[in-house]
Structure 1
Amino acid sequence: MKENDTYLTVKDHSVSGEIFNLKLNKTYGYLETSPLPSEDKLPQYYKTEDYISHTDTQRNLFEKAYHVVRKVALKQKLKLIDALSTSEKNLLDFGCGTGDFLKVAQNYNWNIFGIEPNEQARAIANQKTNNAVFETIDSARFKNKSFDVISLWHVLEHLPNLQNQISVFKKLLKTDGVLIIAVPNHKSFDAKYYKNFWAAFDVPRHLWHFNQEAMKSLFASEKMCVVKTLPMKYDAYYVSLLSEKYKKGIMNPFKAFWIGFQSNLKAKSSGEYSSLIYVIKNC
């Protein structure tokens, strides 16, 4: 693939209907959305009630199922950070949405802070967490080496100025702290099956599209190492359900379940799950 070649052409199915290209970043191996929206234009692509992570709506069976699965996932996330925590339990959840993960962590004696730029989601999160969520990272509020755990659950792919952001996380993390990042994996079976209809491309809200090699290479540039990779098995079903809608115009739960099941089954040997959690530490 030449540097300027397009890996795939993808449509914004949920908001604008615009067409974007996915191009290979030759340095680290991830895919870039092209053209990248300017930072002042980017918020308009989030203006939809269908963006569930920014609301607590349960208008239909799909959204109700999403919240049921999210409760299970929250318990798994808490179990993960508890296993990784040191003597102190200082948590920063970056891109915390409506604050459900922070609320659960707070209930289990974590000292919580969140960052959420979306005003609507931040207001909901602050109601749940006693105003522990802020719009941006403020150096006067957050000192270097403050956090035992920094988590980004399906957030890294949304962040402009990617390498600058990673550098900030490294500074905020304690020397023996842990960075936990969950992102979609475009080398999964469901991604290859749905191709340009794969919902986890989610252009242009997703600016970057990762695989395991790219994640290792990207964080190695900050002298950080991926020490563990974990699957997010529910994502294969959720993403497949949305992908069916984009491809056929209607949700087909039976077909989506079958594709999601195949994706997880194949990933048992390949390791290429629909979404992956990366546990990252200073090298």
Structure 2
Amino acid sequence: MNKKKLDFYIECEDFTVSGEKFKLYKDKDLDMLVTLPKPNGENLGKYYESDDYISHTDSKRSFFERLYHIVKKYSLNRKVKLISNLNEGFGNLLDIGGGTGDFLVQAKLKGWQVKGVEPNGQAREIAQKKNIILDRDTSNLPSHNYDVVTMWHVLEHVPDLEIQIKELKRLVKPGGYIVIAVPNFRSFDASYYRSFWAAYDVPRHLWHFSKTSIEMLFAKENINLSKIVPLFFDSFYVALLSEKYKNGTMNYFRAFWIGFLSNVKAKGSKQYSSHIYILKN
């Protein structure tokens, strides 16, 4: 990213781990935000070292975590159905950022040949107990081997977008699909909570996307945006965390209302809290 194109947008705090402040800058050409300063590879790992980083555990300690896993189970079935409809059946599936392996468990049950990648060692160990073996990275995976490659809320974490998109191009078969889910900083809940919006999640989220940015970034590799699917539940989950960050407690009633309102407004604007982008190679 050319720093000359970046304008200051908002300052946010890392509410999960460090309490440090980070600034988001806007790339006007791509209509996306960039987190600065960006932690380097050696330092980035420490920002994931928290019991509250729920995607790396199967913890069900609180009502919020139990609710998260109930919604997660529903979402997993919906995601597997989505990719199965894309491919008109089953084939080779690669999930990058597989977490604790639950998506691949469900896809495997439905007939997919699954492969996964997850850099976090704790998450890989949990997945292994579910008979899902995850690689640490994609470097040794074969080229043009996968019918569908998925990244569920992962692209915003990668250090280098251009390298990652080129790698996706290498991995997917010609005519295959890349399925990306990311938060949308153009949503109503983002504008409502501003610096407290949980989906900014600095500095773990290095990039903050809009529809325009996803389409333009992948078009550079001749990967075409085919369809956009809203993630309705994300607005409620994000609003709950945002309430905690803003007011010190999860106000379930207000969070539900803001999540609901965000989805209602998105029916007109088409700007949901998060989107699934279906891209064809």
Question: Does residue 132 of structure 2 align to residue 134 of structure 1?
Answer: no
Moved over 2 A (4+): 2-5, 25-29
Query: Secondary structure of 2:41's match?
Result: coil
1:251 counterpart letter in structure 2: M
For residues 190 and 237 of structure 1, what CA distance do their matches in structure 2 show? 9
1:271 aligns with 2:273: no
Please list, as runs of the form range in 1=range in 2, the aligned pairs for 1:1-283 lying within 5 A after superposition. 3-86=5-88, 89-131=91-133, 133-139=134-140, 142-282=141-281
1:208 shift after superposition: 0.1
Does the 8 A contact of 1:179 with 1:280 survive in 2?
Answer: yes
Contact kept, 8 Å, 1:92 with 1:112, in 2: the verdict is yes
Q: 1:61 to 1:83 in 2, by over 3 A?
A: same
Q: C-alpha separation between the residues in 1 aligned to 2:221 and 2:99?
A: 27
Aligned-partner SS, 2:139: coil
CA distance in structure 1 between the partners assigned to 2:256 and 2:22 by the alignment: 28
Q: 8 Å contact 2:179–2:276 — kept in the other structure?
A: yes
Q: Give, in whole Å, the separation in 2 of the partners of 1:197 and 1:138.
A: 36
Q: How far is 1:201 from its partner?
A: 0.1
RMSD over equivalenced CA pairs, Å: 1.1
Q: SS of 1:92's equivalent?
A: strand
Mapped partners of 1:129, 1:101: distance in 2: 12
- In the TM superposition, residue 3 of structure 1 has moved relative to its aligned partner by 3.2
- Size of the alignment, in residue pairs? 278
Whether the 8 Å CA contact 1:102–1:129 is kept in 2: the answer is: no
Residue aligned with 1:42, SS:
helix
Q: Which moved more, 1:18-27 or 1:253-262?
A: 18-27
Give the partner amino acid of 1:148: D
Q: SS in structure 2 opposite 1:5?
A: strand
Q: Provide the rounded CA distance (Å) in 2 between the counterparts of 1:239 and 1:134.
A: 29
The question of whether the paired residues in 1 share the 8 Å contact of 2:104 and 2:132 is answered with: no
Distance 1:87 1:258 in 2: 38
Contact 1:186/1:211 (8 A) holds in 2: yes
Q: CA deviation at 1:27?
A: 4.2
Amino acid at match of 1:147: Y
Structure 2, unpaired ranges of 5+ = none
Decide whether the 8 Å contact of 1:190 with 1:198 is kept in 2. yes
Give the secondary structure class of the aligned counterpart of 1:246: helix
Maintained 8 Å contact 1:86/1:148: no
Normalising by structure 1, report the TM-score.
0.96
Q: Where does structure 1 lack aligned partners over 5 or more consecutive residues?
A: none
Which deviations, in whole Å up to 9, do the C-alpha atoms of 1:116-160 show, x marking residues without a partner? Answer: 0000001111221342x1111133xx2111000000000000001
Contact persistence 1:189–1:266 (CA under 8 A): yes
Change (3 A) 1:110 1:8: same
8 Å contact kept, 2:90–2:111: no
Which of 79-88 and 250-259 deviates more?
Answer: 79-88
Query: Is the contact between residue 33 and residue 207 of structure 1 (CA under 8 Å) also seen in structure 2?
Result: yes
User: Could you say what secondary structure the match of 1:40 adopts?
Assistant: helix
1:157-198 Cα shifts (integer Å, max 9, x gaps): 000111101100111100011000000000000000000000
Q: Which amino acid aligns with 1:188?
A: S
% same residue: 50
